[in-house]
Amino acid sequence: METQNVFIVGAKGIPAKYGGYESFVEQLTKRKISDNIHYFVACRRDLSDNKSDTFVYNNATCFNVSVPNVGPARAILYDLKALNWSIKYIKEHNVSNPIVYVLACRIGPFISKYKKQLKQLGGKLYVNPDGHEWLRAKWSKPVREYWKISEKLMVKHADLLICDSKNIEKYILREYKKYNPNTMYISYGSDITPSKLGFRDEVVQKWFNAHNIHVGDYYLIVGRFVPENNYETMIREFMNSNTNKDLVIITNVEKNKFYSHLKEKTGFENDTRIKFVGTVYDAELLKFIRENAYAYLHGHEVGGTNPSLLEALGSTKINMLLNVGFNKEVAEEGALYWTKETGDLSQLIDKTDLLKAEKIERLNLLSDLRITNYFDWTKIVKQYEKVMVS
């Protein structure tokens, strides 16, 4: 059987440090089963990096794309340069029936030209539409309008849209019905494998001691530091609860306008329970931190299946999620749910503090079953490979 060449554009690259798309590509290549697929993965680098143009990782051909730091437009430029590299390679090596899989909908206004070239080369354009980028508060109105137009054009020209959320798939089919989009649902993945670290490991003791955090005595938030992840609600409600536990927040916090806004609105710096601890890039340490949290708080409301949520469901016994469709379709009965109504989350925190051991173990079992039955990486990779070689 002829090898199916798949060019992946849109992730920052592998090896993955952090991030949904990066972790997805890491798993897709690392867990590859079929001998009839070869992946090419775009990897973003700075202009100053003196790296070779290509390298092999997880048996995938990784190609470096150097991009100047031009602000928000950098991601668009990166995707376009990665597409140019892919099409040039396809032409020069006479690659038959190539698939270009674009992650996210950033380059809609430019995609028509590339789709035409790809079609002439006998190739297909697959797109992962991600979440509702045009709803994110961090973007100005003109940028949000661009994202919406870009999404529309990516949907229009895609041969196949692979949605990692059932709610995203429903939205695409409803919003862009006139294009008769060809969609498919394949989730993001995770696992329930425990961390390789233990209480006595130096990296564990160093982290917990540095932040004065005690195992099992903290609520945890992990996610991007953006307004639509509802940090304000979670912090305010936590401060209004009666818990004696800490709130540990792992995020790429920057002392920016949003941080200042949170300080002003909540006064969190006066509550010693609230602990912003920065990022954790060590995957095993992060898993250990998740496993030993009393509960995980999840406030994401824009986007599809969130990797941080899946990781929490597979590691943390109690998961407390904002009650929106994206979260409910993932966790179902394996989590507790809250709304943004004043007092709702604080009351849930107080009740959660008093949960009996059997209720906690029941939640833990149900959340683990959600991962093993529906979001296991091996199953996800098999689904992808079936699509790629069909």
Q: Which residues contact 346 (CB under 8 A, 6 or more apart)?
A: 237, 238, 240, 241
How do residues 65-83 score in pLDDT, each as one tens digit? 998 888 778 889 999 999 9
DSSP assigned state of 194: P
How do residues 158-199 score in pLDDT, each as one tens digit? 999 999 988 889 989 999 999 999 999 999 999 899 999 999
Residue 350 is which amino acid? D
Give dist(CA 22, CA 3) in Å, integer.
24
pLDDT confidence of 289, banded at 50, 70, 90? very high
**Angle formed at CA 218 by CA 216 and CA 220, multiple of 5 degrees:** 115
37, 172, 179, 374, 390 from 155: Cα distances, Å: 25, 8, 8, 26, 21
How do residues 346-359 score in pLDDT, each as one tens digit? 999 999 999 999 99
Give dist(CA 227, CA 108) in Å, integer.
26
